[in-house]
Structure 1
């Protein structure tokens, strides 16, 4: 989260007048993050202070956002702890403020964990919640193609190939090709609504229990197991890019206790674990090759090391 569009108290009071959320007491911009402008809001209603988050979307358009607004409401209605757009006095959740799409959401409390703090218990918690999210999203009535899905990585891998060393070209080509083969031959892999970006910094914890799953703006329709692979590649690896078998077993077992794996998923897991590493390696490589000195860029070598480890030491589903 970050602040790109500045608001003053009058801007926020005028916006709040559309809602039945009380009078503005305080507001504060939220720093850190790369996509949207966010403010914490404190209001007073019937003598009680309430906490909210005001988000202005800096990249997603007004036409793109209804999918995410409807999805978050759908999941919240099914007891998945995700932020959702509060509806105004006219029953509308998605607004405009300062020429940008905007929503007010409930504020969730908890703490972000560093990679070094992630334990098997934390991994088990996200495994359970992700499986619950997948089950809750199975009947969701809208679909969306991932912005950086298979068609994106086919195109971008071809464009970036001449800039890479031969060894990296081979690694990237192999990962793209094997996903294409899997997609063509495993038509029975369970699909549905995925989070698409469930890294550890998109979760809030109270102890080892999850209080909120944040930032669903990469959600899409895809293989459910691919979503789990994204989580495993972030939550269950060491700083050197090697899989921690204890954390990964905790993650996968907890997930399977809620949504059991199919036989086709057991076959596909090693490939999808590599596909997930490849996708984030590629998305980090592109801006890195343009200017790796830019602030907030993530080093693509982290995902490259995970991809190599997934290639050399494939794991299995429990």
Structure 2
């Protein structure tokens, strides 16, 4: 989360005029993140203070945002703990603020945990929640292709190849090829549906050691469920040396499977999908990193791509199993 667009008092007043949330008494920017502008919003209604989150979408255009607004509402109604847009008195959740698509969301109790604080219990809780997310969205009526999915990583790995070390380019090419082989072999046999796509540990809140909310569903798309789980494992279950902690990973997998059991094919493809997930985030971090070093940076926060390169190399050297 970060602040790229400033919101004036007048713009905030105009926004709240459509809601029954009271009057604004504080608006504080939230630091961190790379995609959207976020504020903590405090209002006063009938002598009581209430807390919300105001999000302005910086990368998604207005035609793309309704998918996520509808998905959040859909999952929320199915008791999946995801942050979702509040509706105004006319039943409209998607608004415009400072010429940006915008939503107001509940502010949930709790805070992000540092990766060093994560335990097997936390991993089990997110595994359970992700399984409910997948089940809750299984009959969602909209579909979306990931904007950084297979076609993107084919294109970008080829484009970046001449600009990075030869060994790195060869590694990316090999992982793209291996996923293509997996998809050719298993096709639509692997369970798929709406995934979160970015469920890192800083996209979840815990209060008194209990999961309270899943945040930032703006990478949700139609994809293999197991790919989503691999994304989680590669972030939640790594130690300080960027190697997989088997106790945490097994806690994650067992908790997930207790809600949505794995198919026979999913047992077979897990080792490769953990590699594919690591490759995808290595590439998505490598792209802006290379551009920034060429003087073409966007000015947004950069994250070290080497972290997921190391996770990928570990997954290759020591493949795990379900």
TM-score in terms of structure 2 length: 0.95
TM-score in terms of structure 1 length: 0.96
Are the equivalent residues in 1 in contact too, given 2:34–2:300 (CA < 8 A)?
no
1:166 is matched with: 166
Deviation at 1:97, TM superposition (A): 1.3
Which is further off, 221-230 or 276-285? Answer: 276-285
Could you say what secondary structure the match of 2:266 adopts? helix
1:210 is matched with: 211
Q: How does 1:69-108 map to 2 (within 5 A)?
A: 69-108=69-108
Q: 1:164 to 1:26 in 2, by over 3 A?
A: closer
- 1:303 and 2:308 matched: yes
Could you say what secondary structure the match of 1:210 adopts? strand
Are the equivalent residues in 2 in contact too, given 1:125–1:208 (CA < 8 A)?
no
Q: 1:85 to 1:295 in 2, by over 3 A?
A: closer
CA distance in 2, matches of 1:208, 1:275: 31
Deviations 1:47-105 (A, max 9, x none): 32211111111111100001000000001001111111111122111111111111111
1:124 is matched with: 124
Which is further off, 154-163 or 272-281? Answer: 154-163
Aligned residues: 317
1:284 is matched with: 285
Which is further off, 42-51 or 228-237? Answer: 42-51
CA distance in 2, matches of 1:3, 1:169: 34
Q: How does 1:51-62 map to 2 (within 5 A)?
A: 51-62=51-62
| CA root-mean-square deviation | 1.4
Deviations 1:14-67 (A, max 9, x none): 210111111222222222222222221222223322111111111111000010
Are the equivalent residues in 2 in contact too, given 1:270–1:310 (CA < 8 A)?
yes
Q: Which runs of 5+ in 1 are unaligned?
A: none
2:263 is matched with: 262
CA distance in 2, matches of 1:205, 1:27: 23
